[in-house]
Amino acid sequence: MTSDPTALRLDGRLVLITGAAKRLGRALALAAARAGAHVALHYGRSRDAAEQTADEIRTLGRRAEIFQADLADPAQVADLFRQAQARLGTIHALINNASIFAPLDWQQTTLADWDQHLRVNLTAPFLLTQTFARALPPEENGRVLNLLDWRALRPGPDHLPYTISKAGLAALTRSLAVALAPRIQVNGLALGAVLPAHAPGSSETSKVSTPEELDEVIRPVPAGRWADLDEVDQAAMFLLAGPAYITGEILHLDGGRHLV
């Protein structure tokens, strides 16, 4: 009997997700668990929220553990992976979701700001992916999903260190897709305007607060609306559990915003 191609499953797989305590990371963690995965949840400062997310995953019958790390510190990044693997076993998929996104232009950006964005948004995903690839047993296949922003492929003057770090992550996605083939697929998900209540911290939502500003964000979006969080989950699960012949792809979930 042919299996249902629409049933994207991660049964028995272990997924490590950075920034998994709240917002988009939390949603992705729960989506992975509903697809059958066990989840290692990284958090920076939100321990209570991370534990609450882990509890929700456990009610689904999956294993879940939380791990604290400052992603700006390479030593803590390495320790994060080691701890997660020691406590939960072989990691089969990595979601680099955590990022910082200060609303800084070129005049406001200090060297410290620049360095912090690159460390968290670009260096940490590289180090985690490098460690993941080295640790994956020869008989196993793996997936890496990098959370991007439509601006990464159309950089503008605002949110400068954030945008440049995400542009670097887009390039890293494509480079590692070639370097780690054929056992590991590396893809990116470039987001646009996600519903404000679930804002992932992209440059689309970090600068808005009033209804007028929210309307202004989606004005140039061809789809004419905000993305629903379920759509983000569906796209992520497609890249994590869909065709293994897809690698080096950056899928835009932005309602066509990158086209205009």
Question: Which three-class secondary structure string do you get for the chain?
Answer: CCCCCCCCCCCCCEEEECCCCCHHHHHHHHHHHHCCCEEEEEECCCHHHHHHHHHHHHHCCCCEEEEECCCCCHHHHHHHHHHHHHHHCCCCEEEECCCCCCCCCCCCCCHHHHHHHHHHHHHHHHHHHHHHHHHCCCCCCEEEEEEEEHHHHCCCCCCHHHHHHHHHHHHHHHHHHHHCCCCEEEEEEEECCECHHHCCCCCCCCCCCCHHHHHHHHCCCCCCCCECHHHHHHHHHHHHHCCCCCCCCEEEECCCHHHC
Q: Say what the pLDDT of residue 211 is.
A: 63
Among the residue ranges 98-107, 191-200, 239-248, 251-260, the one predicted with the least confidence is 191-200
Q: How confident is the model at residue 154 (pLDDT cuts 50, 70, 90)?
A: confident
Write out pLDDT tens, residues 160-210: 999 999 999 999 999 999 999 999 999 999 999 887 654 544 445 444 556
Write down the domain spans for the chain: 14-250
Global pTM value = 0.91
Domain spanning 14-250: which CATH class is it, in words? alpha beta
Among the residue ranges 19-28, 153-162, 168-177, the one predicted with the least confidence is 153-162
What is the rounded average pLDDT of the residues 76-103?
96
Write out pLDDT tens, residues 29-81: 999 999 999 999 999 999 999 999 999 999 999 999 999 999 999 999 999 99
Whether 149 has a pLDDT exceeding 70, the answer reads yes
What is the rounded average pLDDT of the residues 238-259?
94
Share of the chain above pLDDT 70, in %: 91
